[in-house]
Amino acid sequence: MRRPFNPSPAYLSVIPDGGWPDGSHDKCRIATRIGTAQARVAAMLVLTLPGTPIVYAGDAIGMRNVPCRSV
């Protein structure tokens, strides 16, 4: 039987408490910045870290930035 993942206390002591945002309205969407495949890896990482995962609206489905037309 495989042992469950147990991160070392040294690792856990240097990561911040609270949430893990992987995007916001202040930055380009993560899929635009690093590509769809790597955005999926980033989402998996955020969901496996201790604390609260925070996923910006649309990032969960791999949404990319699109050019906006003038209003």
How big is the chain by its Cα radius of gyration, in Å? Answer: 15
In a domain, 51, yes or no: yes
- Residue 32 domain flag: yes
| pLDDT, tens only, 22-64 | 777 788 888 898 898 888 888 888 888 777 888 888 887 888 8
Q: How many domains does the chain have?
A: 1
Establish if 52 belongs to a structural domain.
Answer: yes
In a domain, 68, yes or no: no
Cα separation, 26 vs 23, in Å, equals 8
Kindly state whether residue 2 falls inside one of the protein's structural domains. Answer: no
Q: Please give the single-letter amino acid code of residue 64.
A: R
Domain that holds residue 29: 19-61
Q: How far is CA 49 from CA 1, 7, 21, 25, 57, in A?
A: 23, 10, 11, 22, 20
Phi, psi of 42 (to 5 degrees): -60, -40
Assess if residue 40 is contained within a domain. yes
pTM attached to this predicted model: 0.61
